[in-house]
Amino acid sequence: MARMATTRRVVISTIGAWFFGFLIFFPILWMVLTSFKTELEAFAIPPSFLFFHWTTENYVTVQERSDYFHHALNSVIIAGGSTLIALLIAIPAAWSMAFSPTKRTKDILLWMLSTKMMPPVGVLVPIYLIYKSFGLLDSRIGLVFILCLGNLPIVIWMLFTYFKEIPRDILEAARMDGATIGRELVYVLTPMAIPGLASTMLLNLILAWNEAFWTLNLSTSNAAPLTTFIASYSSPEGLFWAKLSAASTLAIAPILVLGWFSQKQLVRGLTFGAVK
């Protein structure tokens, strides 16, 4: 009897999990399906789910009209660069706050987070003027810089919480054995923090990849990443959903694949410290 109840519970929770998983995945699935429809079918009421005339003409049009690889390369450089620099700054910062906290550590952390509370559009004009003076408008380095600054508080916060979970005793033991700070960081702390680091890196990468405000406003063509590529397919007068879906599918494809391969790390990192 007990066994049956357990089996039933497993079945129900499995169905439930699949259902919610499908629900969350549905918008992406719908986008992919729409990208294979004609413009007229993309708009059809009632919408057709699978039984429509499948076509790849939207992908052909998108390829003809814009340089996908130019935008994708920019996205990789901007998202990757900003993540790397953010980690380089955030690891020592989070390490020092986690292992040698002072009276003001909490305040500093909160102050860092508070910079995220201001809507970006509030500083658009000053940033634009600064970028103009330094010749950073429409440059990859400029976008790397702004996205790095924008995500830094989140990266530091995440790493801080992961580092805090690492028992100080282990570090003390290493110190007793005569490890220097550098060795302690490289041989003790980093291996233990890898899941946390990996998930922070991935999250930051996704945030930077999807960032649409600064990338749209500070780039024109040379540094324009995939966000501007997508934005160029929306139209005020004319049907555009199928082509827009094709462009969006192409834009999320790289990050989706990356997410798939690192799913294990991501889940482990995000739930890190949840069970003691």
- Report the nearest approach of another protein to the CB of residue 188 (Å): 32
- Report the nearest approach of another protein to the CB of residue 38 (Å): 9
Does residue 216 bind another protein (CB under 8 A)?
yes
- Report the nearest approach of another protein to the CB of residue 50 (Å): 20
Handedness of CA 41, 42, 47, 50 (dihedral sign): positive
Does residue 60 bind another protein (CB under 8 A)?
no
- Report the nearest approach of another protein to the CB of residue 137 (Å): 6
Binding track, positions 36-55, relative to another protein; x by CB under 8 A: ---xx--xxx----------
Residue 225 makes CB contacts below 8 A (sequence gap 6+) with: 71, 74, 75, 78, 79, 143, 215, 219
Token pair for 50: 């699978």
**Residue 189 to residues 96, 168, 179, 185, 269, Cα–Cα distance (Å):** 12, 10, 12, 5, 15
Does residue 224 bind another protein (CB under 8 A)?
yes
- Report the nearest approach of another protein to the CB of residue 231 (Å): 5
Cβ atoms of 137 and 128 within 8 Å: the answer is: yes
Does residue 151 bind another protein (CB under 8 A)?
no
Token pair for 40: 């007229």
Does residue 65 bind another protein (CB under 8 A)?
yes
Tell me 123's DSSP state: G
Residue type, position 274, single letter: A
Instruction: Work out the widest C-alpha separation in the chain, in whole angstroms.
Output: 75
Binding track, positions 79-118, relative to another protein; x by CB under 8 A: ----------------------------------------
Q: What span, in angstroms and rounded, lies between the C-alpha atoms of 212 and 203? A: 16
CB nearer to another protein: give 124 or 258: 124
Q: What span, in angstroms and rounded, lies between the C-alpha atoms of 251 and 230? A: 7
CB nearer to another protein: give 157 or 241: 241
Does residue 31 bind another protein (CB under 8 A)?
no
CB nearer to another protein: give 14 or 221: 221
Q: What span, in angstroms and rounded, lies between the C-alpha atoms of 113 and 131? A: 24
CB nearer to another protein: give 198 or 231: 231
Chain center to CA of 115 = 19
Select the span of 92-100, 109-117, 146-154, 230-238 touching another protein (CB under 8 A): 230-238
Residues forming the site for another protein (CB under 8 A): 39-40, 43-45, 65-66, 124-125, 128-129, 132-139, 141, 216-217, 220-221, 224, 228, 231-240
